[in-house]
Amino acid sequence: MSKTIAASRETETSMQNFEGANPLSSRALFWRSRYLCKSDFLYHLPFVFWLTEVLRPTTVVELGLTDGQSYFGFCQAVDRLNLAARCYGIFTPAGKDAPPAVAQARSLIETHNEENYDEFSRLLRRPAASALSRFAPASIDVLLVDMGLTRVQMDKVLEAAAEKLSARGVLLLHGFGEGEKEEQAHEILDALSQSHKTVFLEEGSGLAMVLFGQEQSSRLRQFADLRIGTSEYQNTHLVFRRLGIGHFHEWSNRTSTRASQRLRQTIVALKAEVKELGGKQADLEERVGEKDRRLAQINRQIAALKKEQADQQQVLETLSREKEAAQAEVAGLQNDRDRLTAERDSLTAQKSVIAARADGLRDEMAALTDKYEALRGAYDILQGAQKALQQECDAHTRANKALEAEEAARTEELADQLRQSEAQQREISALADSLQAGQARICDLEADLKQVQRARDQNTLKHLEEMRALKARLEDVTEAAHAEK
């Protein structure tokens, strides 16, 4: 019996920890991100929104700002929760050999920050080793660090973080990478887990939460206390994983839509260019025809002049000069015709190239359309799965109500038995009062009374054990319903 009671208490404690850490109790978990880009951090946006709502920080710092996805996730949460907080994104030096895309990405981040979060967000450029020196001790509530730093840089950052993080400060490490980089990152995390509670989310390139401060929120502590392999741990991480995948699909759909729009605009522009070139070609052909007609006319005039030469020898010199002038004009017209013919051939070749390019763009657009339809179909399948899960959850709810009704009936039955026991007790008391004359009879009645009391106690213990079993079953069904949700 004592083992049963201990197991029941352990189950109640586990359920309380799960309810405290359960992310489904947060509406922020289901926000849609305003800023989406190609990033491994897309999978962790729901966790960022949930963490900001639970912790409600006053100072957020990200060291090693890269694509801006994680930083703007915190900025959006601070803005929507209307927190009196300050956010700082710190770019580390890119180096002389950095590709132009790095400078372009940083420019886009600065523009987005200025347009949306300029009131409370500042972007800085500092070396990693000294980036935290400007912050007061115990002033940072959330510190997000990119694990792409070298081991020496990471050691200096962690040394500074121990001083700069507040009593409820949280250290987030992301970008665990692959190979030697991943091994180094996990060595750092293992060392931190020896003295601090940690949580590791595996999606993307990985995200680790380290509870540095001593005055942590109870929900964060309960989340960190969830053990790997338990249903509470699996259900909580499953929620973050599925919602993170939703952000990735939303980014993918937006990217496909923008690519399709650009292709449509390019095709329209190419069609207009082809139409314009067709008009130019027709104009050139008309001009070449006019030149040909004029050349034929001149040739006829030359023939007439040759015919008249025999009859008008006296005007030979005049006609000779006219002939030379006419021949010079003919040569110029022939040159013009050759040049116009060459231009016509060039335009015809350009038209063929543009037509081939338009065909290629149409094929690419068709491929993107097919990809979009496939993604749409996958989305519909996920929607169907969600409906099926909802129906199963409703079935569990109905089963839960039936168990509650059964428990009520058991409780009523136990109450009836208790009332019967009380009636038996009153009857025994009455018999004791009426049989005071016979001492031997009184002893027999007392023996009978003790036997009845033992039977009553046994029945009571039996029903109590049945109630505990029903309660444990009800908690299992409730836990399964929560997990399915």
Domain boundaries, the chain: 17-226, 257-381, 389-484
Q: Coil, strand or helix: which one is 140?
A: strand
pLDDT value for 347: 76
* CATH number belonging to domain 17-226: 3.40.50.150
380 touches 271 (CB < 8 A):
no
Structural tokens at position 438: 């016979």
pTM value > 0.75? no
How far apart CA 202 and CA 137 sit, in angstroms, is 31
The angle formed by the CA atoms of residues 38, 161 and 92, to the nearest 5 degrees, is 45
Non-local CB neighbours of 446 within 8 Å, separated by 6+ positions: 432
How far apart CA 464 and CA 268 sit, in angstroms, is 79
Q: Coil, strand or helix: which one is 127?
A: coil
How far apart CA 275 and CA 382 sit, in angstroms, is 45
Residue by residue, pLDDT tens for the chain (485 residues) are 333 333 333 434 444 444 445 666 688 889 999 999 988 899 999 999 999 999 999 999 999 898 899 999 999 999 999 999 999 999 987 766 667 778 888 999 999 999 999 999 999 998 887 889 999 999 999 999 998 888 888 999 999 999 999 999 999 999 887 667 788 888 999 999 999 999 999 888 899 999 998 899 899 999 999 998 899 899 988 999 999 898 888 888 887 766 556 655 655 565 566 567 667 777 777 787 787 888 888 888 888 878 877 777 777 788 778 888 878 887 888 887 888 788 788 878 887 877 787 687 778 777 777 776 776 776 677 677 677 767 776 777 787 788 778 778 877 887 887 788 788 778 777 766 776 776 777 687 678 778 877 877 787 788 788 778 877 887 887 787 778 76
pLDDT value for 262: 61
Q: Would you tell me the crossing angle of helices 151-164 and 179-193 to the nearest 10 degrees?
A: 30
pLDDT value for 353: 77
pLDDT value for 11: 36
239 backbone dihedrals φ, ψ, rounded to 5°: -60, -50
| Nearest CA among 222, 227, 197 for reference residue 210 | 197
pLDDT value for 254: 82
Q: Name the maximum alpha-carbon separation found in the chain.
A: 185
Q: Would you tell me the crossing angle of helices 2-21 and 218-225 to the nearest 10 degrees?
A: 120
Structural tokens at position 476: 């299992």
Q: Coil, strand or helix: which one is 248?
A: helix
